[in-house]
């Protein structure tokens, strides 16, 4: 679809019944019907609103919005539920403030820094390996969904707070952030608990500013960051918003990816065996180091394929600031645009036999040949996930350590069901028989 033609633009086709998309089951179920009936750009009217919303499932149209003309789009609806927690953190902010925050934070995600931060990922996984070893020796059943949630939370907390993570946990008699892995919508105490966390972070920020302990973690980088024009540091409130943003954005997405990747490895033991053999040839079974992670090609492909089939962020949105057009279609200012990586990743134009699990779709030559926005588990353009490289390192390290030691045999009797809320989860926890290799 080309972005510029000379014809008068028209409104895209769509169903007559008004519908407001959201991260819920009704939207998840309706999308394939709209796509089948109306094509890759669908207009949905909304009761009481002049501008409805569009669903975009065309890779060119998506590229136009996220990359080429990104300046005309701000974050769309859907973040309201988390805004209370994340304030004006970079996942929700827009415009000049977002640009400033992203510039301040981006240096923490350059590869040299991430290579240093890897020690926290190693530490969390080393402890988890001990725990899994005991389970494997007993031939026990392991709940990988819960394990992955706990592990991912620990990884992001250690990377943000460094040595102070253990100090906070000791002081509080347990990990004060642990409730974040539970279903927050069912927890009436959640607002109070969040206030408690804000206070904890505020105290930590003050303590760091006053005592200046030697630290090398994300918080240290955020504290040291200075605006290149004004020389200003982030305020306490800005820091707290960003810390909360990183905790929320960085743990469940990674946990879900671990969960799905284990699912596919258990379902495809031949793939697990190939990945295991490759890892062993690189590490000999020891804790992987930064330089080694890039050599785990099989597991990179498996994780990428898991992210294609079950992208944790399955639906996200933008709102048009000014009028725009995509091909023949008009996009009036104020229109909300919805993009679903889940359905785009099944588009027959880019993904033959899309439901089949095939990690070799991510062979380097196949990746190069593909449309640049046919695969967007981390979004694309300037608002692309800042943690994408970190997340892949986290995955590579986890499987690089665990696969050579453990074999997981899928044994859940429940049929696999999806839970398409803010993130796309499995409705039931996945359990496996764990055995030593
Ligand atoms: C496999 C794991 C992950 C997936 C699938 C994922 C996915 C995404 C997606 C799709 C977006 C863009 C959302 C939008 O445009 O509306 C995003 C943004 C973001 N992610 Fe991730 N993410 C992952 C891991 C992480 C991690 C580990 C961190 C932190 C260390 C992180 C931090 C962020 C932040 C801060 C943003 C906002 C960036 C901005 O708007 O400038 N993510 N992520």
Measured distance CA(123)–CA(398) in Å, rounded: 11
pLDDT score of 7: 84
Residue of 93, 253, 312, 395 best suited for mutating to test ligand 1, as the one with most atoms within 8 Å of CB:
253
Mutate to test the pocket of ligand 1, among 78, 154, 387 (most ligand atoms within 8 A of CB): 387
Ligand 1 atom nearest the C-alpha of 382 is 41
Q: What is the pLDDT of residue 86?
A: 85
Average pLDDT of the segment spanning 92-121: 97
- Nearest Cα neighbor of 303 from 383, 357, 365 is 357
Residue from 85, 95, 383, 385 to probe ligand 1 pocket by mutation (most atoms less than 8 Å from CB):
385
417 vs 426: CA distance, rounded Å: 6
HSE at residue 61, side-chain half, CA atoms within 13 A, is 25
What is d(CA 380, CA 220) in angstroms, rounded to the nearest whole number? 28
Element (H, E) at 418: strand 418-420
Query: In whole angstroms, what is the distance from residue 273 CA to residue 381 CA?
Result: 36
Q: Which residues contact 70 (CB under 8 A, 6 or more apart)?
A: 381, 382, 383
Spatial separation of the C-alpha atoms in residues 45 and 42, rounded to whole Å: 10
Torsion on CA atoms 9, 13, 18, 21, rounded to nearest 10: -90
**Complete domains list, the chain, with CATH:** 25-436 (1.10.630.10)
Kindly state the average pLDDT of the residues 20-33. Answer: 96
Pocket test for ligand 1, best of 249, 299, 424 (most atoms within 8 A of CB): 249
Q: Are 415 and 428 in contact (CB under 8 A)?
A: no
How far apart CA 7 and CA 133 sit, in angstroms, is: 65
The pLDDT tens digits of the residues spanning 357-386 come to: 999 999 999 999 999 999 999 999 999 999
Tens digit of each residue's pLDDT (9 = 90 or more) over 182-236: 866 655 677 788 888 999 999 999 999 999 999 999 999 999 999 999 999 999 9
Quick one: pLDDT at residue 148? 98
Reported as a single tens digit per residue, the pLDDT across 151-190 is 999 999 999 999 999 999 999 999 999 988 886 665 567 7
Protein residue whose Cα sits closest to atom 27 of ligand 1:
250
Q: Report pLDDT for 184.
A: 64
> 249: CA distance to ligand 1 center in Å?
6
Taking only the tens place, the pLDDT of each residue in 240-267 is 999 999 999 999 999 999 999 999 999 9
Q: Please tell me the distance from the alpha carbon of residue 261 to that of residue 394, in angstroms, as a whole number.
A: 13
Closest CA to 432 of 292, 308, 272, 318: 272
Residue percentage of the chain with pLDDT more than 70:
96
- The C-alpha atoms of residue 105 and residue 220 are separated, in whole angstroms, by 11
Is residue 19's pLDDT more than 60?
Answer: yes
Among 75, 38, 33, residue whose Cα is nearest residue 58:
38
Ligand 1 binding residues, C-beta < 6 A: 90-91, 102, 156, 245-246, 249-250, 253-254, 257, 312-313, 316, 377-379, 383, 385-387, 390-391
Q: Would you say residue 413 has pLDDT above 80?
A: no
Confidence (pTM):
0.96
What separation in Å is there between the alpha carbon of 246 and the centre of ligand 1?
Answer: 9
Q: What is the CA radius of gyration of the chain?
A: 22
State in Å: Cα 21 to ligand 1 middle: 21
Query: Is-contact 383 102, C-beta < 8 A?
Result: no
- Going by C-alpha positions, the residue among 276, 266, 267, 319 that lies closest to residue 299 is 276
Question: Rounded CA gap, 114 and 214, in Å?
Answer: 18
Give the DSSP H/E element, type plus range, for residue 433: strand 431-436
Count CB atoms within 10 A of the CB of residue 82.
Answer: 18
Among the atoms of ligand 1, which is closest to the Cα of residue 152?
27
> What phi, psi does 200 have (nearest 5°)?
-60, -45
Compute the distance between CA of residue 427 and CA of residue 5 in angstroms, rounded to an integer.
45
Question: How many residues are given for the chain?
Answer: 437
């Amino acid at each position: 679809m080309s972005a510029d033609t000379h014809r008068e633009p028209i409104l895209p086709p769509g169903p007559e019944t008004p519908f407001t998309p959201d991260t819920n089951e009704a939207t998840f179920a309706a999308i394939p019907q709209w796509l089948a009936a109306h094509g890759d750009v669908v207009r949905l009217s909304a009761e009481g609103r002049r501008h409805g919303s569009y669903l975009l499932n065309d890779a060119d149209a998506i590229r136009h919005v996220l990359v080429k003309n990104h300046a005309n789009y701000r974050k769309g609806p859907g973040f309201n539920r988390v805004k209370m927690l994340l304030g004006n953190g970079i996942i929700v902010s827009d415009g000049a403030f977002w640009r400033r925050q992203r510039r301040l934070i981006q240096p923490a995600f350059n590869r040299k820094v991430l290579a240093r931060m890897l020690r926290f990922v190693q530490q969390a996984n080393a402890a988890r390996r001990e725990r899994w070893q005991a389970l494997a020796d007993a031939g026990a059943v392991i709940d990988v969904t819960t394990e992955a949630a706990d592990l991912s939370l620990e990884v992001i907390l250690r990377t943000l707070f460094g040595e102070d993570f253990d100090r906070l946990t000791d002081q509080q008699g347990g990990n004060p952030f642990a409730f974040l892995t539970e279903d927050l919508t069912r927890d009436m105490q959640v607002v109070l608990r969040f206030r408690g966390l804000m206070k904890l972070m505020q105290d930590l920020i003050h303590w760091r500013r006053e005592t200046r302990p030697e630290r090398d973690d994300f918080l240290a980088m955020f504290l040291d960051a200075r605006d290149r024009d004004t020389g200003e540091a982030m305020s306490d409130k800005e820091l707290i918003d960003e810390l909360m943003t990183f905790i929320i954005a960085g743990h469940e997405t990674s946990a879900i990816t671990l969960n799905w990747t284990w699912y596919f490895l258990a379902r495809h033991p031949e793939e697990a065996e190939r990945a295991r053999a490759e890892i062993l040839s690189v590490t000999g079974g020891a804790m992987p180091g930064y330089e080694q992670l890039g050599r785990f090609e099989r597991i990179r492909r498996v994780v990428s394929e898991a992210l294609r089939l079950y992208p944790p962020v399955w639906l996200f949105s933008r709102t048009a600031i000014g009028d725009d057009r995509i091909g023949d279609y008009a996009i009036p200012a104020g229109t909300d645009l919805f993009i679903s990586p889940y359905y785009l990743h099944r588009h027959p134009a880019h993904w033959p036999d899309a439901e089949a699990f095939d990690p070799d779709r991510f062979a380097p030559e196949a990746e190069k040949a593909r449309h640049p926005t046919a695969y967007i588990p981390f979004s694309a353009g300037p608002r692309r996930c800042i943690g994408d490289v970190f997340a892949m390192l986290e995955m590579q390290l986890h499987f690089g350590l665990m696969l050579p030691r453990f074999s997981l045999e899928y044994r859940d009797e429940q049929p696999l069901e999806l839970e398409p809320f803010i993130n796309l989860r499995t409705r039931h926890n996945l359990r496996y028989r764990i055995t030593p290799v």
